[in-house]
């Protein structure tokens, strides 16, 4: 079995950690009897600086035939963040209808969390973030520019189809886990969009009587994530709320260097795209010290998606083993290892 994978390392540490994820995925492929055919794309802020575009005009078409996409991170000083985001990530997520952003979090062994006293099974959850609409919309504008009465408008878009399918995905996922879904709302402050979200959540919940459904204002939910994470399992949230909650979840489980994510097209009509939650970290780029674990775990999610679940599970076990041994940890984990040595240790443990 050969899987054709597009790799877009991007900028900064995206490049460093993607090499390591490929190393580990190739080791898993060799061991579990399938092969990965990689095609690399140089789409990035560096490309933008040279050509004026993050990716070619037919970028979406070029990627559409792949079985999956592994993305590093994009963004670099000198190129505005909305350029890198709207010039690559958001068009791909939308063109490929990757309307689920799946962000599993789990307290990994050997990591020091603010919640370090917790056992691993008390801190394991998955954030299902809506990935195609919501607060991240292009609708709005700047008015009366330069005048004292200048103002901006930024609209949110919540469609019945969009809200219903993400909530349904969360309930289906809950049936494979602990049968508990928590919805992030803020219907006290956002008086149109969030009551609508809540209404559809209640409608979908009624169709899943075997799953416990709960809703919580996003601010209280943020506090609960720190104070009582064992009371959460599947968390479903709008685009903006999910973005914020998943960085928080990453922070309490050993930091951004540990958190993977998937941009998933559940129908399988288009390729899904897997990436670390973190960005390109210009502050440590080029120093060889970025933690590659998040990107390696994103690679494991990619293998899960391709049906290579045994290999994916083996990668997660190897990551646990290396972190438990504690001999090859990058500086964010309190060690002195390099990106390459941590990646190689995971690949060796796998072999």
* Residues binding Mg ion (CB under 5 A): 243
Which range in 193-201, 263-271, 287-295, 298-306 contacts ligand NAI by CB under 6 A?
287-295
**Can you tell me which of 21, 36, 63, 89 binds ligand NAI, judged by CB under 6 A?**
89
342 scored as a contact of ligand NAI (CB under 6 A) = no
Supply the minimum distance, in Å, between the C-beta of residue 287 and Mg ion.
22
Return the number of the residue (75 or 229) whose C-beta is nearest ligand NAI.
Answer: 75
Partner interacting with residue 81 (select from ligand NAI, Mg ion, none; CB below 5-8 Å by kind): ligand NAI
Contact indicator for 27, 351 with CB cutoff of 8 Å: yes
Partner interacting with residue 243 (select from ligand NAI, Mg ion, none; CB below 5-8 Å by kind): Mg ion
290 scored as a contact of ligand NAI (CB under 6 A) = yes
Supply the minimum distance, in Å, between the C-beta of residue 10 and ligand NAI.
6
Supply the minimum distance, in Å, between the C-beta of residue 156 and ligand NAI.
20
Contact indicator for 237, 127 with CB cutoff of 8 Å: yes
73 scored as a contact of ligand NAI (CB under 6 A) = yes
Instruction: Give the x/- contact pattern for ligand NAI in 239-278, rule: CB under 6 A.
Output: -----------------xx-----------------x--x
Which range in 140-148, 236-244, 289-297, 313-321 contacts ligand NAI by CB under 6 A?
289-297
Which range in 110-118, 119-127, 229-237, 288-296 contacts ligand NAI by CB under 6 A?
288-296
Cβ neighbours of 327 (radius 10 Å)? 12
Which range in 69-77, 112-120, 200-208, 305-313 contacts ligand NAI by CB under 6 A?
69-77
Return the number of the residue (20 or 233) whose C-beta is nearest ligand NAI.
Answer: 20
Return the number of the residue (254 or 343) whose C-beta is nearest Mg ion.
Answer: 254
Distances from the Cα of 103 to the Cα of 131, 258, 269, 293, 324, angstroms:
11, 11, 21, 14, 23
Which range in 98-106, 151-159, 160-168, 290-298 contacts ligand NAI by CB under 6 A?
290-298
Supply the minimum distance, in Å, between the C-beta of residue 280 and ligand NAI.
4
Positions that interact with ligand NAI (CB under 6 A):
13, 17, 73-76, 81, 84, 89, 256-257, 275, 278-284, 290-291, 294, 332
């Amino acid at each position: 079995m050969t899987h054709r994978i597009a790799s877009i390392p991007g900028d900064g540490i995206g490049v460093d950690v993607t090499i390591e994820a490929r190393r580990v995925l190739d080791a898993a492929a060799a061991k579990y009897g399938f092969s990965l055919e990689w095609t690399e794309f140089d789409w990035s802020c560096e490309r933008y600086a040279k050509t004026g575009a993050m990716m070619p005009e037919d970028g979406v078409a070029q990627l559409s035939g792949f079985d999956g996409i592994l993305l590093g991170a994009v963004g670099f000083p000198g190129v505005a963040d909305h350029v890198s985001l709207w010039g690559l990530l958001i068009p791909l997520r939308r063109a490929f209808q990757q309307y689920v952003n799946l962000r599993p979090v789990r307290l990994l062994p050997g990591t020091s969390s603010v919640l370090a006293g917790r056992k691993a099974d008390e801190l394991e959850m998955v954030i299902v973030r809506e990935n195609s609409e919501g607060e991240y919309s292009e609708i709005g504008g700047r008015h009366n520019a330069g005048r004292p009465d200048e103002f901006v408008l930024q609209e949110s878009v919540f469609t019945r189809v969009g809200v219903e399918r993400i909530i349904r995905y969360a309930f289906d996922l809950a049936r494979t886990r602990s049968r508990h879904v928590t919805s992030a709302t803020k219907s006290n402050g956002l008086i149109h969009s969030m009551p609508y979200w809540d209404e559809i959540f209640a409608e979908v919940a009624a169709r899943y009587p075997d799953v416990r459904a709960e809703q919580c204002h996003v601010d209280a939910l943020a506090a609960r994530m720190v104070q009582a994470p064992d009371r959460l399992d599947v968390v479903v949230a709008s685009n903006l709320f999910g973005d914020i909650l998943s960085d928080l979840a990453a922070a309490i489980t050993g930091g951004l260097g540990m958190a993977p994510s998937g941009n998933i097209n559940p129908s399988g009509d288009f390729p899904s795209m897997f990436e670390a939650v973190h960005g390109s970290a210009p502050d440590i780029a080029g120093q060889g010290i970025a933690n590659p674990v998040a990107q390696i775990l994103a690679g494991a999610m990619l293998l899960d998606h391709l049906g290579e679940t045994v290999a994916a599970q083996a990668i997660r076990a190897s990551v646990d083993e290396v972190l438990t041994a504690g001999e090859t940890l990058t500086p964010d984990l309190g060690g002195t290892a390099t990106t390459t040595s941590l990646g190689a240790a995971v690949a060796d443990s796998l072999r």
